[in-house]
Amino acid sequence: MPDSPHALPSERIVILGAGPCGLACADELKRLGHRSWTLLEAAPLPGGLASSVVDPAGFTWDLGGHVVFSHFGEFDRLLAELFTPDELLHHDRSSYIRFRDRWVPYPFQQYLHRLPAEDAEACVHDLLSACQRREEGMAAGMDFATWLQAMYGSGLVERFFGPYNSKVWATHPEQMASSWVAERVAPVDPGEILAAFSGTAPPARRWGPNATFAFPARGGTGEIWRRLAARLDAGLRTSVRAVAVDPAARTVTLSDGDLIGFDHLVATGPLDQLSAITACAPEAVRAAAGRLQHTTVAMVGLGYEAPTTDERSWLYFPQPEVPFYRATNFSKYAPANVPGADTTTFSAWMTETSTLPGTPLEHRQLILDCDQALRRHGLVPEDAPLASTHLELIDYAYPIPTLDRDEALATVVPWMESQGIYPRGRFGTWRYEIGNMDHAVKMGIDIARRLVHGTTEELLIQAPDAMAATGGQR
């Protein structure tokens, strides 16, 4: 990383994208007393991937399964400033995996005693063999499929980790790197797993940073970012898209024809798009950015005239015949997510189906398939009337940690920073392992502090505490 800049009070800082990272950056600049900043957002409203929408029937939907948890004091402070204690609801995570004819608690590998006998025997046998060979089997630079085999053995990979990760990433694990997850997956304790079969094991440990989580009582996840945007005064402009960046002239051209000057540019949108619109970017930079891959997610929200009775938070589906990889019990998160906050009358399920960009999707058929899958697996009564259907297609949903991702980033990001352009946020860094909301806020605050005071960006220099130890579950 180049030497930290130190922006003079009069130097212009332009931020592209009013998602969690961009909003946090602007908010921190304001807090630090740096007044010469502008935040630009292409959408009509702020929030980015963490936005929420209300459909015509009165159901609130998030753009994917967001929950509020934190690794960072800055994020905790922000929530405390934006919400009173009674405006956030708190939950203990209750998640399950659908396997054959049953629900297996999450994380799957800790509950092998809940599997049918034949499956349990195969999984335990292969897992114990993998544990014995693990030190010699783990190597730097291995692909994700090889890593899964070395960590869990063939039984678990064939029954869960392989099909689930192929589904959630729309990419075969052989085509993915393992560096993004290898140091963040807790080792499986063979003794505890064996003891569980005899009933002598201690209760499974609560696992991961989202074992407990919060959720806004009203407005969905997007309420966080609406409130943050509201205190930014006049520095935020919406419905304007950056169409060209000229680092030599230090200008951004907007879709409405305006030309905005900058001394420092914080870009929180997709790195491949940024590279494509940046003048004079070397061909090597454009080519490297073009190799970055991402998923597109279809969020299908289904509202029912049936009371909310299921106490579980979210459910994983590795089966290929189920279109979605995850179903979220959204009316459990907050009663206000259904019309009139009436969970005695309504329930709401939010499903996520992952594809690669450009994959054809027949929207009506997808909605029908999602509805039928929820009913087929007992999450919704067979006779429950549909009160609402809503589909949101999230073009850029998750950056895929492909085999050559780090090599591509090592080409693109240093060149951008040498031009006074700082890619940050989920798709600015293109690192899923630091792609949660709290990571995005931390990145926004860190880059603001760096630009104003020249301090080091803490998140980008430390080993990121990325995701719960899930083996690729999200």
| Domain CATH code at residue 351 | 3.90.660.10
pLDDT in tens, 203-234: 655 666 677 889 999 999 999 999 999 999 78
pLDDT higher at 141 or 111: 111
* Domain coverage including residue 310: 294-399
Residue where the block lists tokens 């407990």: 212
Q: Tell me the average pLDDT across 293-313.
A: 97
Q: Do residue 176 and residue 145 come from a single domain?
A: yes
Percent of the chain with pLDDT over 90: 81
Q: Which pLDDT value is given to residue 198?
A: 81
93-97, 182-186, 304-308: range with highest mean pLDDT: 304-308
Q: How many domains does the chain have?
A: 3
Residue 185 has pLDDT above 60, yes or no: no
Task: Identify whether residues 270 and 413 lie together within a single domain.
Answer: yes
How does pLDDT run across 278-298, given as a tens digit for each residue? 999 999 999 999 999 999 999
The answer to the question of residue 207 being in a domain is no
Q: Does residue 235 share a domain with residue 270?
A: yes
Q: Is a pLDDT exceeding 50 seen at residue 468? A: no
**Are residues 262 and 304 part of one domain?**
no
Same domain, 390 and 300: yes
Residue 253 and residue 318 in one domain = no
Q: What's the pLDDT band for 470 if we cut at 50, 70, 90?
A: very low
* Shared-domain flag, residues 287 and 303: no
Q: Is residue 330 part of a domain?
A: yes
206: in domain? no
Q: Is 40 helix (H, G, I), strand (E, B) or coil?
A: strand
Q: What is the mean pLDDT of the chain?
A: 92
Answer whether residue 340 is part of any domain.
Answer: yes
In a domain, 99, yes or no: no
116 and 185, same domain (yes or no): yes
Q: What is the CA radius of gyration of the chain?
A: 23
Q: For the domain that residue 135 is a member of, what is the CATH number?
A: 1.10.3110
Q: How far apart are CA 68 and CA 221, in angstroms?
A: 8
Q: What is the mean pLDDT of residues 412-431?
A: 97
128 and 118, same structural domain?
yes
Q: How far apart are CA 353 and CA 363, in angstroms?
A: 11
Domain finish residue from 198, 233, 261: 198
Three-point CA angle 432, 394, 320, nearest 5°: 80
* Residue 247 belongs to some domain of the structure: yes
- In a shared domain, residues 264 and 238: yes
Token reading at 347: 């329930």
pLDDT band at 440 (very low <50, low <70, confident <90, very high): very high
Residue 472 lies in a domain: no
CATH number for the domain spanning 431: value is: 3.50.50.60
For residues 286 and 158, membership in a common domain is answered with no
Residues 321 and 395 in one domain: yes
